[in-house]
């Protein structure tokens, strides 16, 4: 579950953030095992990120705000994650760093971008 200060009060966004954090949490098990994280799990993580960013893009487009800075932030993050996933050693030694990077990125990103988007959406929905 997300800490209260990371809730944006747009149910669709909060639910997806929760799913992402829960999914990341489930990855921690692989850090302490010798078996590599299956490729399908890597793909699932990447897919979840892509689809979450699409959700925010769609919501932003519906109220036609300037989403370019926010979108750039998503794109840069996806690039870093895909590079790391592709280069990750088979023994998962980098996995813990990746999990921490994504969690930290989300914290900063939600506070800086998603909350602003949510405020805008909430205002737009009142009109």
Q: Which of 114, 115, 118, 121 binds Fe ion (CB under 5 A)?
A: 114
Q: Does 118 bind Fe ion (CB under 5 A)?
A: no
Q: How far is the CB of 93 from Fe ion (least distance, A)?
A: 28
SS (H, E, C) the chain: CCCHHHCCCCHHHHHHHHHHHHHHHHHHHHHCCCCCCCHHHHHHHHHHHHHHHHHHHHHHHHCCCCCHHHHHHHHHHHHHHHHHHHHCCCCCCCHHHHHHHHHHHHHHHHHHHHHHHHHHHHHHHHC
Give the binding range for Fe ion (CB under 5 A) out of 22-30, 40-48, 89-97, 112-120. 112-120
Nearer to Fe ion, 71 or 94 (CB): 71
Give contact residues for Fe ion (rule: CB under 5 A): 56, 113-114
């Amino acid at each position: 579950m997300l800490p209260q200060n990371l809730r944006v009060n747009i149910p669709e966004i909060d639910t997806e953030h929760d799913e992402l954090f829960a999914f990341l949490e489930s990855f921690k098990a692989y850090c302490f095992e010798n078996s590599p994280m299956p490729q399908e799990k890597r793909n699932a993580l990447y897919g979840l990120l892509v689809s979450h960013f699409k959700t925010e893009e769609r919501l932003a487009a519906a109220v036609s705000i300037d989403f370019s800075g926010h979108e750039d932030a998503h794109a840069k993050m996806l690039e870093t994650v895909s590079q790391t996933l592709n280069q990750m050693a088979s023994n998962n030694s980098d996995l813990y760093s990746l999990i921490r990077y994504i969690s930290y990125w989300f914290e900063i990103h939600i506070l800086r971008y998603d909350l602003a988007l949510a405020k805008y959406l909430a205002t737009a929905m009142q009109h």
